[in-house]
Structure 1
């Protein structure tokens, strides 16, 4: 029962990344506020305010209807324009940078809230317009509600001005990369802080019971604490075989258990794995490496040819790899200092190779980019304290020099690349 409740909560929590989530909530709030004003008007709030502060109450039926109609039409126009700007942003980001950026841009909270303000204002004005009675009696006219509609329109205009500023900032690639870096670095630092210096490891899981995935999609999130509690309850070590962020087909092995578990327990375990059709950096820091690599590669395509953006992307990658050096390739989830769950993670060697394979292919002809990549790799080699990490970095340095030597023909450039310890 607890597992099902947590599954429902996680499903609701995932909705926050949908572009319509916050607009829907704010729209409901606007509608609810309109009905609250219906009740207050029935209690005579406009009559009371008309006696106390008559300047705050709209007391003419034609004026009220004209104002509400104008505000509604204006809000719809602003909302359509704003939504069109969002579509332009998404299209440009997909074309010029990387389609992987779209989920992060769609989930922008500020833009969602602004769209919600527009919708709430429109619904409030419509419901208030309906409540106007044709008799025109001054005490039946919702004058105070009409005044609040004017206030909401002013708020919408302020939100629109802020939206123009925000959208102009969001489209700049430097801001996009900075946002990617901050989200991924925060995630990496959290994972590093949660690691324990425990030398205990699981015994070989070759003979453990294997259980397959029941869905197809990206393994977006794993509730490790819940899985660890189940493991402790049944005194059964669990190994999660699939990497977080990996694309799984049905019947691919998802996890292994030390002992065989009953169907009810397995059902509870499966509810702790969330699948999705897209990925978010907040859930998987590896996606940041992919996005920054794709931005650099796209910038070096013949149609765009923007080496400056590629250099910036490499600089952000350098900072992320420095953080990744501090994280172990093996991760456990503990309860009372006892490891119950082993998590398969993308190891440093694979993470470095996947980025460098693409960068070497598209940047090997540009000596400036090759220099920056060699600087990044040499800095990582200097900072590395793990032998396996150092070995992978050395291999990538040699691979980059080999590919560059085949593409660059200038003797001075080749001499610079051949030197391993240069400084830029």
Structure 2
């Protein structure tokens, strides 16, 4: 991911970018319609449709002022409703999902439309001057302001419908799943996976540190293409010591080279690793899994006790892991000219599977519906990969579920059903790749 694409990703993730564009467009529209009105439209419009465009200066001012005042009031209401939705989502699901509300294009567009109509009316209102016969009234611009006011009413109704849908668990989980799968498609093209990395690398004594962290935070992005260009240009191999999404302390080693780095390479590597206040999904696929697991744990807590939401989280996790199960999870951009220049901690399917399953299994250990859904997930994933290491990881998870059912389920029928399902799954996994 290049710097421009990273900047675009971050800017479009903010809550102010889309509204700012809409306001700028509304201001330009106002200036354009007023200017066109003054030069080409006014006389002909008044003659052809006097009842539509024949409002006087005083009536036009009053109408535009009413539309502008109502729009800025509604904009404040929209902002308040959005904050209430954010608070509800944070308490009901997880604070990690708030970013999805911030990136919601509909929420951004609705706020931008109301503020944009307000800005449009102000600009047109400013252009009206004079009284009686000598007054200048941009009739078409004023009429367009009236239409925008009606459009704002429809937008308010649509926003209420959208916000009511957006706080539903299904919408929140689908948004996380879709964004995570999009990151998987971008980071790991549909290539066959492998059990291990065939490249050989120097042992620990062969590396020389070249760059340390100068701040605290989470590793969000590593510019592998840039690192590979610099490594191949200087004839050294580079090692990234920190995984995407890991927390970094000041002075922690980020990059090392083998052999010793040439003079000035450390300065050239500045900015190749982006550290921020929170994890993001730009390159950190595990963060999407973490969000879904957090929602599932909240649903399984005694205060909420929402088994349906927990099983929906397992379904979304299964969809994400199914996208990962058959892919090569090494980052692109680490190889150039047939030589692998960058050694970086890449995600392992086994680790991601443990992140998705372990805590849900622990907190749902007495819930037969959750245990059955986890077994279904493992069975579905087993059908998506033939890689031995990944199937062994699925078997380990199935054995853990088998043990949990034997220890935690009190009802004999529930216990028997889970044990039978776990046993059948283990036989399938072990028979296919024993």
Q: 1:84 aligns with which of 74, 80, 86?
A: 80
SS in 1 for 2:343: strand
Kindly provide the CA deviation profile for residues 109-168 of structure 1, in whole angstroms up to 9, marking residues without a partner as x: 121112111111101111222222143445522222211211222332332232222222
Q: Which residue of 2 aligns with 1:3?
A: none
Alpha-carbon offset, residue 42 of structure 1: 5.0
The answer as to whether partners of 1:192 and 1:327 remain within 8 angstroms in 2 is yes
Distance 2:104 2:404 in 1: 40
Deviates more, 1:275-284 or 1:213-222: 275-284
Distance 2:141 2:265 in 1: 55
What aligned pairs does 1:219-298 form with structure 2 within 5 A after superposition? 219-261=219-261, 264-298=264-298
Distance 2:193 2:317 in 1: 27
Distance 1:412 1:9 in 2: 55
User: Structure 2 regions of 5+ residues with no counterpart?
Assistant: 426-434
Alpha-carbon offset, residue 335 of structure 1: 3.1
1:193 maps onto 2:189 in alignment: yes
Alpha-carbon offset, residue 332 of structure 1: 4.9
Q: Which residue of 2 aligns with 1:371?
A: 372
| RMSD, aligned α-carbons | 2.8
SS in 2 for 1:193: coil
Distance 1:51 1:250 in 2: 73
CA 1:305–1:197: 2 relative to 1, 3 Å: closer
With structure 1 as the length reference, what TM-score do the two structures score?
A: 0.89
Q: Which residue of 1 aligns with 2:201?
A: 203
The answer as to whether partners of 1:213 and 1:250 remain within 8 angstroms in 2 is yes
The answer as to whether partners of 2:187 and 2:283 remain within 8 angstroms in 1 is no
Q: Which residue of 2 aligns with 1:317?
A: 317
The answer as to whether partners of 2:193 and 2:327 remain within 8 angstroms in 1 is no
1:357 maps onto 2:355 in alignment: no
Kindly provide the CA deviation profile for residues 15-39 of structure 1, in whole angstroms up to 9, marking residues without a partner as x: 2111111111211222233333454
What aligned pairs does 1:3-402 form with structure 2 within 5 A after superposition? 7=3, 10-11=6-7, 13-41=9-37, 43=39, 45-51=41-47, 53-137=49-133, 140-193=136-189, 195=191, 200-204=198-202, 206=204, 207-210=206-209, 211-261=211-261, 264-333=264-333, 334-381=335-382, 383-402=384-403
SS in 1 for 2:288: helix
Deviates more, 1:165-174 or 1:400-409: 400-409
What is the aligned residue count? 419
Q: Which residue of 1 aligns with 2:415?
A: 414
